[in-house]
A and B are shown apart, each in its own frame.
Chain A
Amino acid sequence: MAAVHVKNLKKFYGSVKAVDGIDLEIEDQEFVVLLGPSGCGKTTTLRCIAGLESPTSGEIFFDSRRVNTLEPADRNIAMVFQFFALYPHLNAIDNISFPLRAQGTPPKKIGEKIAWISGLLGLEAILKRKVQTLPGGDQQKVALARAIVRDPVVLLLDEPLSQLDEKFRDEMRTELGRLQRSLHVTTIYVTHDQREAMALADKIVLMKDGKILQAGSPREIYGDPQSVFAGYFIGSPGMNFAKCVWEGDRLLFQGGINELKLSDKLATLLSQKGKRNLLIGIRPEHISFSAMQRESVCTLKIKVATVEKFSQFKIFSFHLGEQLFMGRVREEVPEGAEGYVYFLPDRLRFFDAETERSIF
C-alpha cells in the first residue's frame, strides 16, 4: 500500500510531447483512472510510474520514496497489460506463481496464495490449462491473478478490458470493482472507455494532449465539467454543444436561424458574465421532447432526425444549426416527427467559445 505522487512529469519523444507536465496526487488505496482519447499520454504516464519508461523530467514518489531511478522489478508494483502478456507456454498456475517463485517464496506459501487468488477470481477450473488455449477473458483473469498474488504496493492496469468482448467487459468491470475494494491496493487504471472510468474510479483524471484537463470523482466530473472536452468525453452519449451568441435576452444559433429564450434567472447570470460568444452545453438526459409546445423558455422547435431504440430509453437526434444534438428520453419518439425540445434550465451549462472552459 502506498500513496503515489507525481510531480511535473514530462516525457518527450524528440519533438513529440507525450506527457507535458502532469501532477498527480494518489492516495493510498485509491482507485484512480487515467482517462482520455488515444495519444493523450495516459499510457505513457502509467509506464513512467511503472518504470518501463524513464521520464524526460519530473519526479515520481511512492509514499516518500523517490522511485525515478528504480527498475520496475524494484518498485514492487504489479502490472496488467492490454494484450494479457502471459508466458505463452506455461499453464495458468505456473503463470500466476511465477512472481512468487522469482521472489523465492516457499512452496507451501505459494500453494496458499494460489488457492486464495483462484478462489477470489473463480479460476479453479482453468488452473491446469495452458494459457494460450483460454479465451480472452480468462486470460486476462489469469494476468490479473498474477499481478495481485504478489501483494504489490501499487497495481497498474493498461486498458486491460479493451481486447475483450462487450459481455466479458461488463462482467469484468463489476469484478474489478469488487476486487479492488476487497484488496485495498492503490490502483492506477488507464482507459479510453469512460464507462469503465465512471464505474470503477474513486477519482478520474481526464487527460488530453499530454495534460490533465480535470480531476475529480465521477459524479463531480459528470455533473460539473470544467471544459467542453470533459462534457463531451464523459457520458454516453456525451454532452451536446452548439455555438451561440448571447444577445442580452436570448441565445442565437447560426446567425439567427434558431433562437433560445432563457429563464430570467439564467439570463441575469449570463449577462453578468459579460461574454457574447458562447458554447451551450446540455446532457442528453436533460432534453425532453413533446409534440406540442409546453414551455415558454428553454425550448426549441425541431425535427427529429434519427431514433435509436433501447429498451430502457430512446436516443433521438435533431439538428441545431450545424450540430447534431442527441436527447435521451423514456417515451417513444417517432423518426421524422416535428415537435419541441425542452432543455432543463438547471442543467444548462455555458462555455467560453474560445477557451472552451466552463463559465457556469
Chain B
Amino acid sequence: MRASDPQAQDKIKMLKLDGITKRFGDLTAVNRLRIEVSAGEIIVLLGPTGAGKTTTLRIAAGLENPDEGKVILDGRDVTKLPPSYRDVAMIFEAHNLYPIYNVYDNIAFPLRAPGRKLPEKEIKERISKVATDLHISHLLDREMTTLSGGEIQRAALARTLVRTPRIYLMDEPLSNLDLKLREELRVEFRELHKRYGATMLYVTHDFVSAVSIGDRIGILDRGKLHQVGTPDELHQDPHTVTVAALMESPPMNLLPCQVAGGSMLVDQEAGIIFPLSQGQGAKVREKAGDGEIVLGVWPEDIRIGIPESERAFQGLIVGKEFQGANTLMNLSVGKSILKTLTDPDFPGGFGKLCRFYFPLEKVYLFHKKSGERIYF
C-alpha cells in the first residue's frame, strides 16, 4: 500500500511514459505519448477501440518494447527491463485466471511465485482482506468454472490487488460485465481506491467508467494523446474536437460553420447566426484561415422550449429517447442533428418544431481539418 503523504503525492511521479512511440508495420499504434501518473492517482486513458490504449499499457508493463521513448517507474528507467523485473501488476481484459486452481489458489498465485515468495500465513491474511473488500470471501474455495461473470471479474481483481506493486495497470477490467454489475463495481472500485491509495493506469472506451473512476483522464485517439485533465477541465476546455467528441454521453454537438459578412458566426443551413465583435471576427479568421470551422456546443448548454417572446433557433424533433431521469432529444437542424437533454416530461412529439437557444459564450470553435480548438 502506498500511504498517501499529501506533499509527496504532488511530487512523486510513480510512472512516466516519455515520448513513447510504437509501430506495427505501417501502423503507428502509439505516437510520441507523454503522460505522468502521480503516486496514489488514477489516470484513465479513454479512447475508442484501436486508439492504442492496450498497446500503451503493455509497453508500461514490459510486454512490448517501444520503438522510441522511455518508461520510468518510480524514478528508474525500466524501458529495457522485462515485466518480471518491473514492479507492476496488470489486469487484462480477458481475465487470466487458471481454471485448474480454485479461487483461493488463483489469488495466491502471484504471491507464491518464486522470487517474490511470501510465507503462507501472510498470504492468508492478505487474501482474506482483499476477499472481504471485494465481497468474495464466500467464494474462496470454489472452482473457477462454477463462478458467474461478475464473480470471475472480482476474483481477477483480487488477484491483482493482493500484490502491492508500485502501480496497477488495468485494461478494461469491467468491460465484459453486464451493465448493472459494472455500475456496482465502479462505485466499489472508487471506494477501494480510497482505502488502498493505489496508483493506477486504467484504460477504457467507456466514458462513464472513465469519469467515475479517474482522477484525471487522458483522451487517446489513433495513437495520439490529445489532452490530459480532470473531467471538469476536459469539459470546460477541450483542446481538440476529438476530446469533445469522446467526453460525455451524449458528446458535444458539432455543426459545420463559417465566418461570413465580416463578423458573423454562421451555420447557414441551420439558420444559426451569431454576431461577432471586430476583435473576435479577426481572431477567428486569422486562426481558421480560409478553412472551414466546426461549431461545438454541449447538449446541456442548449435550452429548449423557448417562449415566442425570446430569440431562438428552430429545429424539428426527430428523436426522443426516454432515459428515466431525463429524455434525450434529437433535433434536426439544417443538415445536422443536435442532441440535448430535457426533463422526462417535456412535451413535443416527433415531427414537431422546437424552439431552442444557446448563447455565444457556450460556443466552442474548432478547426475542421486539424481538429484544434480556436479560441476567440
Q: Do chains A and B touch in the complex (CB under 8 A)?
A: yes
* B-binding residues in A (CB < 8 A): 37-38, 135-136, 165-167, 170, 173-174, 177-178, 192-195, 198-199, 218-219, 222, 232-238, 283-285, 305-306, 308-312, 315, 317, 324, 326, 328
Once A235-B324, A284-B325 are accepted as A-B contacts, the answer to whether A170 and B190 lie under 8 Å apart by CB is no
Report if A236-B211 is in contact (Cβ < 8 Å); known contacts: A310-B231, A310-B248, A311-B300. Answer: no
Enumerate chain A residues within 8 angstroms of B325, measured Cβ to Cβ: 235, 283-285, 328
Residues in B neighbouring A237, C-beta threshold 8 A: 183
From B49, B187, B324, contact of A236 by CB (8 A): B324
CB-CB contacts of B105-123 with A at 8 A, as 1s and 0s? 0000000000000000000
A308 to B191, CA, bound (A): 11
9 contacts between A and B (CB under 8 A): A37-B178, A173-B321, A192-B178, A222-B322, A235-B325, A285-B325, A306-B191, A308-B190, A312-B341
> CA separation between A284 and B179, bound complex, in Å?
17
Q: Please, which residues of chain A bring their CB within 8 A of the CB of B246?
A: 167
Q: Mark B308-321, 1 if CB is under 8 A from A, else 0.
A: 00000000001101
* A234 close to B324 (CB less than 8 A): yes
Q: Which chain B residue has the least Cβ–Cβ distance from A336?
A: B194
Question: Which of B's residues lie within 8 Å of A, judged by CB?
Answer: 48-50, 148-149, 178-180, 183, 186-187, 190-191, 194, 205-208, 211-212, 231-232, 235, 245-251, 298-300, 318-319, 321-325, 328, 330, 341, 344
CB-based contact A199/B321 at 8 Å = yes
Chain B interface mostly:
mixed
Cα A312 to Cα B232 in complex, Å, equals 11
CA distance A192 to B150 in the complex (A): 14
Given contacts A166-B249, A173-B321, A199-B328, 4 further A-B contacts (CB under 8 A): A167-B205, A192-B178, A306-B194, A311-B298
Cβ of A234: which chain B residues have Cβ within 8 Å of it?
324
Looking at the assembled complex, report how far the CB atom of A99 sits from the nearest CB atom of chain B, in whole angstroms.
29
Quote the shortest CB–CB distance from B374 to chain A (angstroms): 21
By Cβ-Cβ distance, the 4 closest A-B pairs, closest first, are A199-B321, A308-B212, A285-B325, A312-B300
Whether the Cβ atoms of A194 and B179 lie closer than 8 Å is: yes
| Chain A residues whose C-beta falls within 8 Å of the C-beta of B319 in the assembled complex | 174, 177-178
B187 touches A326 (CB 8 A): yes
Q: Are A317 and B187 in contact (CB under 8 A)?
A: yes
A-chain residues with CB within 8 Å of residue B191 when the two chains form the complex: 305-306
Of the candidates B205, B231, B247, the one whose C-beta lies within 8 Å of that of A309 is: B231
Looking at the assembled complex, report how far the CB atom of A32 sits from the nearest CB atom of chain B, in whole angstroms. Answer: 15
Please report the C-alpha to C-alpha distance between residue A238 and residue B179 in the assembled complex, in whole angstroms. Answer: 11
* Nearest-neighbor residue (CB-CB) of B250 within chain A: A170
- Which residues of A sit under 8 angstroms from B48, Cβ to Cβ? 165, 167
Cα distance A49–B180 when bound, in Å?
A: 27
